[in-house]
Structure 1
Amino acid sequence: MKMKTKIVFILLALMVVFASGCMEQKKEIVIDKPGNVSSYEFEIFQNESSNQTLANTTTYYLLENDTKVQVVHIVVNTSKLEIYPPDILGGSSEESPIQNFVQLVGPANETEANPKTFEKLSSKTNTSDINYTLTQEVIQGVKVINLELKEPVTGFIAYTLENSGEQSFAFVKHDSEFVRVVLPEGYVTGNRVFGIARPEPSSVTYDEKGRQTLLWIPSKTGDQEETIQVKYYTQSAPLLFSAAIIVLLFGVGLVLLHYSRSKKKLEAVRGILDLEKEYEKKQRKRK
């Protein structure tokens, strides 16, 4: 009995060790060539406080083709980023989960976090030469890409992720940062029939290109994580849907009108037939 207990205990211990090893296993991501700086927008977003300071901010630029999303971080004195791809629930492991990686940064101890500094960084044409490592791991079915920089930096970090190809986007928000989602031109969210953002964003505005921009701000709940989902649709979708409903109702009205007229004609014909039958009966009686 004791021997069996020992064997069971050893097997359980091996299972725990094996599971822990799988959970913590990391895969290094190697990017062969520098990303294309000109493919990104580097907006200088300032928070809404009275002193308009720069803070850690992530902006997701959703593209019209739905298959990719561009991500731009404003980082202030940061040496590590956790990146959650849109397929966070799948936990799959592609060969190139992150593409077109760009960094326009400077060492934090030499770079002042103000709009002027970020404006200079945004005008650079070549990516910064700061050493970094990218690793990917799957923990309890959730994929995480870890970006670790050689030293704390301040500036912009940008990359491109694969998206689902549907007009729906989900991501994990760290409660300690500002998060923005910029929808493609001609697309909006907020209609409960066609799609909304959950949880509700702190503000909804339009940028100079007419794109709807959603903002979530940090709260006082600490460094918690929250899943945000945005379902969006073409701006004309509600109008087209309303037009389709009107056309459908008009068609139903025509059918009902035709039915009503046909019914009256049938009733009129039936009345004539009834009169003829009565007339024939009277003629027979006379004979």
Structure 2
Amino acid sequence: MKRYFFPMLCVLSLVIFAGGCIDDLVPVDDETTQPELSAYEFETFLTNSYDGDTFIPTHTFYLSRNGSTRVVSIIENETVIDIIPLEDLSTSQNDPVTNIVVLGGLANQTNATQEVFTDLSIMDEASDINYTISDDVISGQKHVFITFEEPITGFVAYTMSTPPGQDFIYITTPPSVVRFVLPEGYTTGNSLIGKVKPSPDEVYYDEMGRENLVWTNEVTTSSFLSMLGNFSPEDEEDIEPVPKLITAKFYTENAPRDLSIAVGILGLIALLVYSRYRHEKKRLENIRKNIEDQVTVPKKKGKD
């Protein structure tokens, strides 16, 4: 038996080596998933996106209840897009950012004009621009970075994984224009059910009947600096933008009416229960009073 051990070991090693070589010879499908342009709306939304000759980054969030939010950003001369994903137990197993689509060009070859953005918005193929995706934890918060080899100008769209439901939170760094597009048939603003904070600068309905909420988030001089009296406009470039939190709770347009009906029904039931309680209490008090009267009335004495 021992004399066969060494030949068998050699044969086994040869099989394993050959198997590895065969695996190397088998073609591997390295084809990456192509970006899906049809998932996004590349609208040339540039309301309040220009401060004189300065372009302000504009971000549109198409909200949904299914655990994902489609984001379309219009940027100028940007190298890195910083994304703060919303995570909980339901999203821990999902990729925080997927289906990245870029419609744009190198910043030194692309002007940030409405005409250029309009031409980019009707492109039928994604631009051939290289980027990398990385993540990091900063101050306990996860960040995802889309980094381009060179600064670009144009549209950058991606799908962000979010907890399912009717709440959305976004941390924005000014200066920027932020727009939330609510799902069709949904609204917000009711103080009892939920609303957005801070209040949007503009609210309107688009062609599809969806409610749009817009915030213009400028870098402004703080009142504290103004009180010091030694602040000059030249110092504005040195101001560190302060992140701002936007929260939104959205619900169906019938929700306030349904809530009013439910409250009315509950109020009516409560009134009926209270009336029944008062009636029973009064009846029991009458019974108790009759019994007490019978006990306290003295019996008449008979004749001797």
Distance change >3 Å, CA 237–CA 95, structure 1 → 2: closer
Equivalent position of 1:85 in the other structure: 85
TM-superposition CA deviations, 1:96-155 (whole Å, max 9, x none): 221111111122233232223222222222211011111111123211111121222221
1:55 aligned partner, one-letter code: I
Equivalent position of 2:124 in the other structure: 125
| Greater shift in the superposed pair: 219-228 or 261-270 | 261-270
Taking the aligned partners of 2:111 and 2:63, their CA distance within structure 1 comes to: 30
TM-superposition CA deviations, 1:177-222 (whole Å, max 9, x none): 1111112122222223222222333222222222222222122244
SS, match of residue 169 in structure 1: strand
Taking the aligned partners of 1:210 and 1:224, their CA distance within structure 2 comes to: 33
1:69 matched to 2:69? The reply is yes
Taking the aligned partners of 1:274 and 1:152, their CA distance within structure 2 comes to: 95
Distance change >3 Å, CA 55–CA 275, structure 1 → 2: closer
Query: 2:79–2:148: 8 Å Cα contact kept in structure 1?
Result: yes
Matches within 5 A, 1:1-287: 32-48=32-48, 55-65=56-66, 67-87=67-87, 96-221=95-220, 222=239, 223-262=241-280
Taking the aligned partners of 1:233 and 1:153, their CA distance within structure 2 comes to: 37
1:253 aligned partner, one-letter code: L
| Greater shift in the superposed pair: 189-198 or 244-253 | 189-198
5+ unaligned residues in a row in structure 1: which ranges? 1-30
1:233 aligned partner, one-letter code: Y
SS, match of residue 42 in structure 1: coil
Distance change >3 Å, CA 146–CA 271, structure 1 → 2: closer
SS, match of residue 81 in structure 2: strand
SS, match of residue 198 in structure 1: coil
Distance change >3 Å, CA 264–CA 177, structure 1 → 2: closer
Query: 2:42–2:121: 8 Å Cα contact kept in structure 1?
Result: yes
What percentage of aligned pairs have identical amino acids?
37
Return the TM-score normalized by structure 1: 0.74
SS, match of residue 251 in structure 1: helix
SS, match of residue 241 in structure 1: helix
Taking the aligned partners of 2:130 and 2:289, their CA distance within structure 1 comes to: 95
* Structure ID, larger Rg: 2
5+ unaligned residues in a row in structure 2: which ranges? 1-30, 221-238
| Greater shift in the superposed pair: 95-104 or 265-274 | 265-274
Taking the aligned partners of 2:94 and 2:40, their CA distance within structure 1 comes to: 23
Moved over 4 A (4+): 49-54, 92-95, 259-279, 284-287
Distance change >3 Å, CA 159–CA 252, structure 1 → 2: same
2:268 aligned partner, one-letter code: F
Report how many aligned residue pairs link the two structures: 254
SS, match of residue 261 in structure 2: helix
CA RMSD of aligned residues (A): 3.4
Distance change >3 Å, CA 286–CA 84, structure 1 → 2: farther
Taking the aligned partners of 2:158 and 2:148, their CA distance within structure 1 comes to: 15
Distance change >3 Å, CA 52–CA 235, structure 1 → 2: farther
Return the TM-score normalized by structure 2: 0.70
